[in-house]
Structure 1
Amino acid sequence: MLASDVDAILLAQTLAYPRFLLESAEFFLNRLALAPQYCWVAQAGEGLAGKELFGYLVSYPWDAGLPPALDVPLTALPAGADHWFLHDCAVVPEAQGLGVGQALVRAAAGRAMHNGLTHASLVSLASAAGYWLRHGYAPLAANSAGLADKLAGYGPNASYMSRGFPF
């Protein structure tokens, strides 16, 4: 992912998510600055209108604590992080079913494992929970007020999920 991809990423997220989940250009630039090796895009080759974005993935090293809030910049990543946090992976409707999301996840997870991270975590929207369950993720109990508050920003029945490496 490059800073020049952000406009296309903003368009892709509007096609993939409801309005209340949309994050700003500043959010994407913040995560790209903190963890460029964990932020990826999938693009078609050169065409008349340039490269078409098929999807993107934003992730970064994290700890096993609470997930980060949506659209909130971070000043730094946690020291000693052992989790790979998959913050967002979206594929435009025209590219769904082509394996774009799976390729993005595998590439970024491979980098995370190579860099010594031992677990993966994410917040799943209710509509995607079955997908993540099929890929080895398990929901973590939302028994703390802090976690319940964080998950509320992701919509009804969102869940914090985790799994160990390797994939």
Structure 2
Amino acid sequence: MALNTLKDIYIDQMQDIYSACKQSKSATLKLVEQATDEDLRHALKAGVVGIDKGMETLEGIIKAHGADPEGEFCKGMEGLVKEVEAHVIDATFGDDAAKDAMIITQYQRMAHYAIAGYGCCKAFAKRLSLDEDAHKLDKCLEASYEGDETMTEIATGTRGINAEAA
């Protein structure tokens, strides 16, 4: 697809986020299996639900514009998923809290990719006067921020995993 207009870029980037979500969901499910802290497991499971909701929203928006949600493969998320594999799945840890700290790190990197993508697409939608799209993308953006903030709280809160790992 030629990227001649902002609308073309908008569709392309939503397809990229859709692909990123698909890949991050698979990686997050693996992180759920690896996590030892119950709060972390719960937050990761909630993250999977959030990713599913985001994918549903993106699919609806993309199809409404006559495009295929599967039109793009996100190389950026592919790299982040490889990091999950290398730094969690294939890694050896001597301490459960250290492992959980690494899980949070890897999850947040994926979440930050989603935050950047949703934020850009929301800005494109606003510029294109696609107010309903912008509203839907804002909900996805806020959910991504909330997931990130939850992970930060689990890591750094009073009984934080980072303190346990130290």
TM-score of the superposition, structure 1-length normalised?
0.35
Greater strand share, structure number: 1
Greater helix share, structure number: 2
| Higher RCO (CA-CA < 8 Å; seq separation 6+) | 2
Q: Which structure's CA Rg is the greater one?
A: 2
